[in-house]
Structure 1
Amino acid sequence: MGDHSVDLWAHPRLVSAIASEDWAAVLRTYRQLAGGVSQTRLGERVGLSQSDVSDIERGRRRVTSVEVRQRIVEGLGIPDRLLYGAARPDPGPVASLALPGLAPDEDLLARVTSAVIGSTRPDSATLDWFDRLLAEHRRAEDLIGSRPLVDVMRQQLRTVVGLHGCAAGALSDRVVRLAAEHAQFLAWMAQDQGASAAALAWYDRSHEWALESGDANMAATTLSMKAHMAWSGGRGTRCVRLAEAARWSAPGTSRGVQGMAAQMAARGHALNGEGDDARHLLDEAQELIGRAAERSEDEPPWMYFYDETWFTLQRGMAELHLGGWRAAIDQLTTGLAALPDHYRRDKTWYRSCLAHAFAGAGEAPEALAIAIGCLPDAAAVGRPHSWNELHTTAAVLLRHDAKEGRELISVLKQYD
């Protein structure tokens, strides 16, 4: 960028644009302050075509993809201090990653900090703290959605990977396992935001690290989550095959991880309209989840959500695909009533599915009421999956020639 870089990132217009994530203003202001850089040259830096840059600057295209946002951040070299809030003091290389109430004690903080900068080897207490921090971020994502956490988790993964060169023996394997868990979480968040290519890349990286560290549970989980991606894309047969691979390719997995793979295969069969196969596998998965609950200490930490409530919702999803509208309504209603409020993103998703089930059953007023009720959360934390399901609900209502379909489309447009 040249000698102007320090002054450029201190300019109030650019600082303000970055803080508000106004990427059109970021690109325009950057080009002006950098001496009139052309749209073509700027596009080369951030991996976009000249026409893409022009569309963003003119407001014809919004930056909603995590990957495009990251290209801009990395291509322009935007400092972390601006991305995380210019007014926030810099607490050091790792303290800024902590959630409220999760900062390590003074002695542990000193050891974590020195391990991160490479002067000492990480110890068990350091890695315990990163385990706890990751678990809390997973639960935070249930409430606030993935978008606010992506950059934090990228930085946290970089920090964990940086520990590997200083670790030895069993601690080295543990660092790799921890990196695999971070990569899997990043994959899930990319998938949640519709960035399929990025999600697949992260799942592949997580799977590789899981195999390297001998973590059968994570190796199987990444395959189950890739099956989930196939299901989300309407590819039932691929979903079934990936879920089956999760079951046989990683022996020695926990009951919960086996149950997840079985229910994912069931969802693939349901998507294909294969009701007998779907229900048989759901019965098998339910038996596995019951056995997992008896020995919850054997389950990996990312399986914290896998319980009877979650499984009831999965049965509802399968019935939705099979056109068993009343069964889907009953299962989804029961599951939603038991789902804690801190699962804000999941509640939004399953409510949108419940609206779809009511629409399929021809109960248009109920479908509309539920859809409108979950719109604010869908706009805040549920996109794109909840959003797509609400549009599907509107389409089903229109096929039934229900006036509620037109009403729902009108309300959806207010949020688009």
Structure 2
Amino acid sequence: MLWPVVRSQLDVVTRLIPSASGQTADELMLLAAEHAHWLSWVAAQNQQTGPALAWLDGAHGWAIDASHADMASWLQRVRAYYCRQHSDPIRALRVADGARQLAGLSPGATSVAAHEASLAAAAVGERDRALRLADDAVVEASRVPDEPDRPAWLYWLTPSRARLHRADTAYACHRWQEAATGFEESLPGLAGFPRDQAHYQGLLTDAQRRAA
């Protein structure tokens, strides 16, 4: 299991931070934030809500200390996702809105925060707002650089993913035919990601059934 390996690596990184300065310290804190984010995600997947939030708080602190706006925004986006998954869409929308309004964000970070905000808006019944946010997310995603120039945690944000995000929001807004069309057009872009492909294929099938 990767947990003890990542936890050990995080310990090594955090021991180095106090003796570092300048850009080196910032890079170490960003690395610590990435490790803590992964630990948070694993804890959340195992229904360990308290540890998941604690690791996320630690990660966010390191991102702020490193003045890394993209990572700070990404971690707020993850917190918004946790809120939405725990049936608190109002808080999710507030947190996701904050994530997309941080200064100095890259298009990729802005896009994924807007997507999360769109799903939260749909969950609270603000469907027009949700669709506007989803459109904003697609526009920002079109400005994302090629994979080698993206942050490691945004390696997956391709044009196909952005269109799937738009279909996600259409589905959440009960616009079944629009969602089905979006899923169908974008699914081929998930080659190599069988779990994601199965998830979206299920949504496509359900959207087609509801649209019939």
> Shorter-chain TM-score: what band?
0.7 to 0.9
Distance 1:270 1:328 in 2: 14
Q: Paired residue for 1:335? A: 186
Q: Paired residue for 1:219? A: 72
Q: Paired residue for 1:203? A: 56
Q: List runs of 5+ in structure 1 lacking aligned partners.
A: 1-147, 363-416
Distance 1:256 1:271 in 2: 23
Distance 1:224 1:180 in 2: 14
Residue 354 (str. 1) matches residue 204 (str. 2):
yes
Contact 2:138 2:163 (8 Å CA) reproduced: no
Contact 2:138 2:166 (8 Å CA) reproduced: no
Amino acid aligned to 1:232: Q
Contact 1:267 1:278 (8 Å CA) reproduced: yes
Distance 1:331 1:217 in 2: 27
Q: Determine helix, strand or coil for the equivalent of 2:125.
A: coil
Contact 2:131 2:170 (8 Å CA) reproduced: no
Contact 1:269 1:275 (8 Å CA) reproduced: yes
Q: Paired residue for 1:290? A: 142
Amino acid aligned to 1:194: Q
- Equivalent residue in structure 1 for 2:166, among 306, 309, 315: 315
CA RMSD of aligned residues (A): 2.2
Q: Paired residue for 2:34? A: 181
Q: Determine helix, strand or coil for the equivalent of 1:292.
A: coil
Structure with bigger RCO (C-alpha 8 Å, 6+ apart): 2
Shift in alpha-carbon separation, 1:291–1:359, aligned structure 2, 3 A: same
Contact 1:254 1:299 (8 Å CA) reproduced: no
After superposing on structure 2, the runs of 4+ consecutive aligned residues of structure 1 that deviate more than 6 Å are none
Amino acid aligned to 2:198: T
Distance 2:69 2:143 in 1: 19
Distance 1:346 1:288 in 2: 22
- Equivalent residue in structure 1 for 2:24, among 166, 171, 178: 171
Distance 1:332 1:233 in 2: 25
**Equivalence map 1:84-233=2 (5 Å):** 148-233=1-86
Distance 1:178 1:191 in 2: 20
Contact 2:135 2:166 (8 Å CA) reproduced: no
Q: Deviations over 1:349-396 (max 9, x none)?
A: 32333344345346xxxxxxxxxxxxxxxxxxxxxxxxxxxxxxxxxx
Return the offset for 1:180.
0.8
| Bigger Rg, structure 1 or 2 | 1
**Equivalence map 1:196-275=2 (5 Å):** 196-248=49-101, 250-275=102-127
Q: List runs of 5+ in structure 2 lacking aligned partners.
A: none
Distance 2:82 2:205 in 1: 22
Distance 1:353 1:196 in 2: 26
The alignment-based identity, stated in percent, is 32
TM-score by length of 2: 0.88
Residue 305 (str. 1) matches residue 160 (str. 2):
no
